[in-house]
Structures are given as structure tokens and as C-alpha cells.
Structure 1
Amino acid sequence: MKKWYLSYIQIIAVGFMLIILTGAVLLSLPAASRTGTYTPFIDSFFTAASATCVTGLVVYDTYTHWSFFGQIVILLLIQTGGLGFMSMATLISMFLRRKIGLKERELMKEAVSSMYLGGIVRLTRHVLIGTLLCESIGAILLAVRFCPEMGLWQGIYYGIFHSVSAFCNAGFDLMGRFEQFSSLTRYSGDILVNLVIMSLIIIGGIGFFVWEDIHKHKLSFHSYQLHTKIVLTTTAALIIVPSILFFLMERGYALKEMDTLQAVIASAFQSVTPRTAGFNTVDIASLRSGTLLLTIILMMIGGSSGSTAGGIKTTTLAVLIMSAISVIKGRDFLRAYERKLEGNALRRACAVFLTYLAVAMSATLILSLLQDFTMEQLLFEVFSAMSTVGLTTGITPALSAVSKLQIALLMYFGRVGVLSIALAFTKTPENVPVEYPCEKIMIG
């Protein structure tokens, strides 16, 4: 009798799906809704997928539809999805003082996208401690703002919920108490709320490996590993340049009612949040077409490998840019910070980018046949789901059941990784020592 054997990637893929299904069942219960009635399973599945895949797309306003029990389920799904279920399992093992075996270590390595197996338990421990510390500080700072207008306990609860949601790049909010689907538009000019949310998004999105490197070498940039240098440089560029572009493109439009300081803050926020966070301080539906395109590009790039973020990742973008520069300069290798990149880096980057693009374009084509929305709206929704962002032009609640299922699957693919999904269900070929004859083709 043939034994079932699941690879580490398959275990992670199946694990995430089981968590989504569990969350969907819990959210379908009458206790999860404010009205005490059953929520349609497709809507519960969509919400559970969005929370577990730390996306933020919703068919119901989180505050007005879900009860306190439903909100707690969503919060737990966000935390589990953001850190990865293996990290949560490790936390339980640490509390129970259980020994963590080699198989669990391999799973942990895949879960946090670490490059090395050695020290993986220490890295996971640091991730858990760092997460608790960042979310706690964020919750306290947000509570300082929320408590005066909501009361002590509500303010603390709102601080915790939005801190976890921001750090895990989820984008879920409870601001429906003021206006449904309003996200953080109420706080567009609030420096404290904006800085705290942006900081949590950036810290959660740079990656756990980068955390460890910074923890080890402090502020010595020269001592960082190449991966960390590329992530920090690319992240800084993707914050500064889009902020300027957003300000210039929307100053006379979406930002025209704001003073200069508010407009600058909103521009910076809208350059950070599309890279998989999903909060917004301006009405997305009111943005110009050029700004929507810029947002789609930022959503596609996403955060960094081994983080709570989605997208093709900053390192993939950096490798593709380095490849173009190398061809222009006539080099036959990729170089950054006086280091040569491994030969497999470009192949993997191309595979991630093309697989992502193929799935996104196919999904958009299918949605265009199912829904009567503009191509701009459909592209925005698809890239938001694929990159686990959560921003929307407002069409999510109006999607049909089939379209909701498709978007939910896109969120799942985006969280696990489109290339990982492809690898999970592809049989690994045996290495056959055959060398084929080489022949040239024309490129470009």
C-alpha cells in the first residue's frame, strides 16, 4: 500500500486551507454576526480567507456585521495567517516545553522563508517576541488616540485590533462605527495614527530574516547580509518615490481639501499601504486613473520575502532591475553592493514574476466575463487580492458568489505564494545527467 507523503510546501498549503475552512465555519455561526443570524458560507469563507491571508478585502463592514465573537475570530485568523501557523505551533511547543524535531524545523524554515536551517528555532523565537513587542507598542500608542473618543476599554480594544491588523499587513478595521467601509479616512491628518500604522506596516513587511540581521548587527549597514541591504534599499525607494508621485498626481484632486501637511502625510501613507496593508486614508474610488495604476504597481511588488506581506516581493523586483542593468552594461552576472548574486536568483525571480502575472491576467479575464465592471476596477481588485493588499474601488460587496470564490482563491495563492502553489502540486523530476545541444535565439 502506497504511503501518502506531503512535502513541506504542501503541508503549509494544506495547513492554510484548513485554517481558512475552520474560520469560515466559525464565522458562519449565528454568534459571529451582530444580528444573531447565520452568515452565508461563501461570505464567511471569503472573510476567513481574507483574514488568514492577511488581505483585508471584505464583503461586510467588519464593525457593523460581525459581533465581538466574530471580530475576535477574525483577529485570531489575522495573527495566525500573518505569522504562519507553524510559528504559532512553535509558540505552543515552547509553552509545553516540547522538543522541536528536524521535520518541524524544516517546516519552520519554509514558513518564515529562511535561507538557513541552522538557528531556525532561535529565529522563530525572536519573530514571536518581536511581534508581541511591536504589536504591544503599537496598541498602546493607538489607544492613546482612541481612548479619549471611544472610552477606555473600547479604545484599548481598538488599539489592539488595529495594531495587529497593521503589523500583519491585514488592513481590517473597525471604523464602521463612524462610517461603513471608511477605513482610516477619519484620521487622514492625524500624525500619530498615520505614523504608528505606517511603522507597523513597514516593520511587518520587511521580513523576519531582516529583523534578525538588524538585531545582530544593529545599525551597521556595512555588516548586513546582501539580502538585508537590498530589502532596505528597495523598501526606502518604494516609499519615497511613490509618495512624491502620489502628491503631485492628486494634489489638485483627492488631496485638494487637505492642507499641505495633511496632503504629505496622506501621500506617504498611500505609498506604504498598497504594499499589502490595505488601509486607506483617502477614498480609493476617487483616485485618478494614473494614481490607480501606480497603486496597482505597488500592490504587485508587495513587501519582502519571509514577512507578513504578499506580492512578487522587493527582492524579485531588485533582481529583475539588476538583470536589465547587467545586460545594458554588458555584464554576464548580477552584482549588488560588491557582491555577485547566485546564478539561480534571476531564474527564480523570472519564474515568480511571470507566474504571478499569468495568474493575475487569467483571473482578470475570467472576472471580466462574470462581472459588469470596468477593466480598471477588475484589475485593481485582482491585484489587491493576489498581493494580499485589501484595497478596493468599492466593488467587493457586489461580486457574485463565483467571483467571491475566485477572489478568495487568489488571496490564498498570494499568501502561500503562486510559485509555491505551483511547486506544491508538481512532481519533482529526477536529475538525469543529459546535456542538450545549445542553439541561439533572438531576444528583444
Structure 2
Amino acid sequence: MNKAFRSRRGDSSYIERLIYRLKNNISPPQLITAVFLVLITVGAILLSMPFASSTGQSIGLLDALFTSVSAVCVNGLVVLDTGSAFSVYGQVIIMILIQIGGIGFMTLGVVIAILLGKKIGLKQRLIIQQTTQSTSAQGLVRLSLYMVLIVFLFESIATLVLTLRWESEMGLGKAAYYALFHSISAFNNAGFALWSDGLSRYVGDPIVNFTILILFIVGGLGYIVVVDIFRKRSWRKLSLHSKIVLLATSVLFVIGFLLLFLLESWNSATFGQLTLWERIQAAIFQSMTPRSSGFNTIDIGSMLAVSQFLLIILMFIGAASGGTGGGIKTNTVVVLILATINTFRGGGQIHAFNRRISEDTVMRALAVVISSLCFVLLITILLTITENMLEDHFLEVLFEATSAFSTTGLSMGLTSELSNAGKVIVTITMYLGRLGPLTLAYALAQKKAKSKIGYPEDHILIG
């Protein structure tokens, strides 16, 4: 009996030592990667249960995994119609996964810990810094509280507005449920909708259009920018990050709106039956939705090829760092543009708004763009093979690959017709797109070792 007791005690000690080692040796990016996988797995298991399906029969593990990844990674691509394929239980599970995936599991954990009177250690602060993409480890606990407050405030107001708008159509109960679902989906830039045609039926409805629009714009700007605006309330006092994000967002919006309005006005399949005011609303909505929201008020598959290619570019750029959107981020693009302009001017310091941008930041931005571009092209090639589209439909495949990687969720119709191999490829793409190239690289990288060899400098011809 004593021997058995010692054996159990030894096993317990071994487990405790193992947990201690994992806790102290695993890096924040590795922990983020692991927790995302756990959350996705739990979501997939729940969604594969019969009670999550509208028919009472399991939708299958692969489709459940695809949906879980899309929800946790706030993507929005679906292989099954959310409104008809899932029961209310299934839809609520999706809604919860979107909320946790969008706001971040660590942020919710910090709030819970504070409510329970627990202290937030250095390890937890580093994880918060990684998930929020903050440049400083100071004030992260307060930032987490602000984040939860911002989410609650915007989603609550939007839910109330949409409930009042839809009450006459659906009744109070259903209107409130639909309003809550779409508010959470919009603020977290997830793009899940309970209608098979997205929000196309509300293409000319300013209340629905602008409520959803405000939600995913604020979510895409990022909590750091929103908090900075709330605190400073002056353009001059804003941080460099906030100024770049706001400026880039405005420029991309104007360019996207003007081009889409002019191009699609020639398209009878999209703008042909709309009034001028409806066309303006549709152009505004579609110019912002590629920033990673995934909602649509016109049929994406019916748009002109040039308009679809423009959406691909906007999707690839995505939203701002630290926000709920995806893509390579507007900050990244601005840094590379500034570096390019600086090179044309003959070099020197790269700067913006009287602030110098470090060379390390430029190299990180270049690494993100190159790795992301290579990955999207690789996924496009793989999908053309698995979906038997080697001779045509290249733009359609490129669109879906970019949408999956940038966690946008817009689709030209290919996703719902994917083969099992294609579903696996897109699932992996959504997951890696949400983590981001740098986070994944940090998670897999070994400890840095300084080179003991100094190589002589040489020159390579460029251009």
C-alpha cells in the first residue's frame, strides 16, 4: 500500500514538474499557437455534435473543423450556410468562438483574473503584448480592461440599433438574437451572417449598412488606436502608430470607393438595378469590407474581374496591426512605401510625422510581405490542382486563397464547392493567416545565436 502511495505521489510530482517546465520554457507565441489549436479543437468537437445541426444529424468532423477554424480565426469563409445548416445551439457556439477569437483569450483571462483578485505576472503581460501587438509592455492590464469595455460598448449599442430596425420584420426575440449575432460577427471582423446571401437584401438600408460598417471599421482599426483616440482626442498628440493607421485607412477607403463606384456602375449584374444612393452605399460598404470584415451587400461573384482583383489587393493589405482584421496590415504597407520613397530620394533616415522608423521595422515589414505573398501563391497553386482548375478560374482561386489567408471571408463561390483536400488546405491557410507570419516564425524559431563570424561586405546589382 505504501509502495502504491509513493508511486502515485511520484507520478503527481512528475506531472507537476512537467507543467512547471512547460510553463517556464514555452514562449508567448508558442502558447498563443497552442491555445488557438485547443480552442479550435473544442469548437470542432462541439459543432460536430448532432445538437449543433439543424437536422439533428452531425455535419461531419471536417466541416465542423472548417467552421471552427473560420470562427476562431474570425475569417467568415463557410462550407455550410450558417443560418440553415446549424441549429440555434450551433450558431451560439459559433458566436462564442468568434468573440473569444476576436478579443483574444488572454485578454478575457486577464479580466477574469482581475475580478478574482489575482496578480498578472510578467509572463502573462508578455502574452498580452503578443496578442495585442503592442509596442510596449507597460499599461497592458489597463489596455485589456479598455478592450473589453470597447467591445461591450460597441456591440451593445449596435445590438440595440439593429434590434429596433429588425423588430418589425422578425419580432422582438428573433430580432434581438440576429442583432447580437451580427454585431459580434461585425465588430470582430468575422463576416458570419445568418442569411445565405450575406447582407445583400439590405444593400439600400442605411441603418444596417452603416451600423455594420462602423463596427468592423472600429474593430479593424485596433484597440490601441481606439484607446489612443479616446485618451488624446487630438491629432497632434496621437502616437505614430495611430496616425499611420488612420491615414492609411482613409486613403485606402477613398481609392477603393472611387474605383468600385466607377467600375461597377458599368455592371448591370451588380449596380445596374440600384439607385444612385444605393450605389453609393454599396460602393462604400464593398470598399471597406475587404479590410477583413467578410460581409457583402452585392454578389461578389457577379462583380467585374477588375473589381474582383481590386478586392484581392485590398484583402491582402487588410486591417491595422492590433485589430481584429487580418492581411499583411496597413502599417506594413505604409512602412514599405516610406522606405521606397526614401530610397528614391537618396537614402537617409526613414521617417513619418517627425518620427524616425527603425531599420529593424522595415526588415520586419519586408519579411511579412514576402512570406505572405509566397504563401498565398503557394495556396493558389495547390487549390488549382485539388479543385481541378488548371485551365481556367485562376482569379477565382486566387480570390479564395487571399480571402482565407487575410481572414477576410469574402468568396466568389468556390469555398462552398471545395473538395475535402481543398477544405484541409483552406483550413490550414485560415489558421496560419490568423496567427500571422511573424508570430508563427517566432513560435517555431530557436533561440537566437550571435554569429561569431564577420563576413566582408560586397555588392549585388539591383534592378
User: TM-score, normalized by length of structure 1?
Assistant: 0.97
Letter in 2 for 1:397: S
Deviations 1:47-84 (A, max 9, x none): 00000000000011101010010000000000000011
Per the TM alignment, residue 414 of structure 1 is displaced from its structure 2 partner at its CA by 1.0
Letter in 1 for 2:424: L
Aligned to 2:199: 184
Q: 1:389 aligns with which of 408, 425, 429?
A: 408
Q: 2:309 aligns with which of 268, 293, 301?
A: 293
Q: Distance in 1 between matches of 2:437 and 2:164?
A: 40
SS of 1:222 mapped into structure 2: coil
Unaligned runs of 5+ in 2: 1-16
Aligned to 1:86: 106
Deviations 1:307-326 (A, max 9, x none): 10100000001011111111
Deviations 1:253-299 (A, max 9, x none): 12111011100110010011011100000000101110010000000
Moved more, 206-215 or 426-435: 426-435
Deviations 1:184-222 (A, max 9, x none): 00000001111111110110001121122112101x101
Q: Distance in 2 between matches of 1:145 and 1:173?
A: 16
Matched, 1:70 2:70: no
Aligned to 1:238: 252
Q: Distance in 2 between matches of 1:201 and 1:47?
A: 20
Aligned to 2:239: 225
RMSD across aligned positions (CA): 1.2
Aligned to 1:178: none
Q: Distance in 1 between matches of 2:437 and 2:371?
A: 7
Aligned to 1:356: 372
SS of 2:236 mapped into structure 1: helix
SS of 1:194 mapped into structure 2: helix
Letter in 1 for 2:352: A
Letter in 1 for 2:248: T
Aligned to 1:166: 186
Aligned to 1:324: 340
Bigger radius of gyration: 2
Q: 1:420 aligns with which of 427, 439, 447?
A: 439
Aligned to 2:448: 429
Matches within 5 A, 1:109-124: 109-124=129-144
Aligned to 1:347: 363
Per the TM alignment, residue 433 of structure 1 is displaced from its structure 2 partner at its CA by 4.9
Q: Distance in 2 between matches of 1:54 and 1:171?
A: 8
Moved more, 396-405 or 419-428: 419-428
Q: Distance in 2 between matches of 1:354 and 1:370?
A: 24
Unaligned runs of 5+ in 1: 176-180
Moved more, 383-392 or 205-214: 205-214
Q: 1:57 aligns with which of 47, 62, 77?
A: 77
Q: Distance in 1 between matches of 2:241 and 2:85?
A: 42
Moved more, 369-378 or 345-354: 369-378
Letter in 2 for 1:399: L
Q: 1:213 aligns with which of 228, 244, 252?
A: 228
Q: Distance in 2 between matches of 1:290 and 1:387?
A: 19
Q: 2:47 aligns with which of 18, 24, 27?
A: 27
Per the TM alignment, residue 424 of structure 1 is displaced from its structure 2 partner at its CA by 1.1
Aligned to 2:211: 196
Matched, 1:365 2:385: no
Q: Distance in 2 between matches of 1:186 and 1:94?
A: 43
Moved more, 363-372 or 116-125: 363-372
Per the TM alignment, residue 434 of structure 1 is displaced from its structure 2 partner at its CA by 3.8
Q: Distance in 2 between matches of 1:365 and 1:104?
A: 40
Matches within 5 A, 1:140-151: 140-151=160-171
Q: Distance in 2 between matches of 1:65 and 1:314?
A: 35
Q: Distance in 2 between matches of 1:101 and 1:422?
A: 25
Q: Distance in 1 between matches of 2:138 and 2:336?
A: 29
Contact 1:310–1:415 (8 Å) recurs in 2: yes
Matched, 1:309 2:328: no
Per the TM alignment, residue 94 of structure 1 is displaced from its structure 2 partner at its CA by 2.5
Residues paired across the two proteins, number: 438
SS of 2:291 mapped into structure 1: coil
Contact 1:355–1:419 (8 Å) recurs in 2: no
Q: Distance in 2 between matches of 1:97 and 1:414?
A: 35
Q: Distance in 2 between matches of 1:173 and 1:199?
A: 16
Moved more, 96-105 or 29-38: 96-105
SS of 1:221 mapped into structure 2: coil
Aligned to 1:127: 147
SS of 2:336 mapped into structure 1: helix
Letter in 2 for 1:68: V
Q: Distance in 2 between matches of 1:152 and 1:51?
A: 26
Per the TM alignment, residue 95 of structure 1 is displaced from its structure 2 partner at its CA by 2.6
User: TM-score, normalized by length of structure 2?
Assistant: 0.93
Q: Distance in 1 between matches of 2:289 and 2:68?
A: 21
Per the TM alignment, residue 252 of structure 1 is displaced from its structure 2 partner at its CA by 1.9
Aligned to 1:252: 266
Letter in 2 for 1:429: K
Q: Distance in 2 between matches of 1:442 and 1:300?
A: 29
Moved more, 92-101 or 393-402: 92-101
Per the TM alignment, residue 85 of structure 1 is displaced from its structure 2 partner at its CA by 1.0
Q: Distance in 2 between matches of 1:409 and 1:116?
A: 31
Per the TM alignment, residue 98 of structure 1 is displaced from its structure 2 partner at its CA by 1.7
Deviations 1:328-360 (A, max 9, x none): 111322111122111211100000000101111
Contact 1:34–1:67 (8 Å) recurs in 2: yes
Per the TM alignment, residue 88 of structure 1 is displaced from its structure 2 partner at its CA by 1.7
Q: Distance in 1 between matches of 2:444 and 2:60?
A: 30
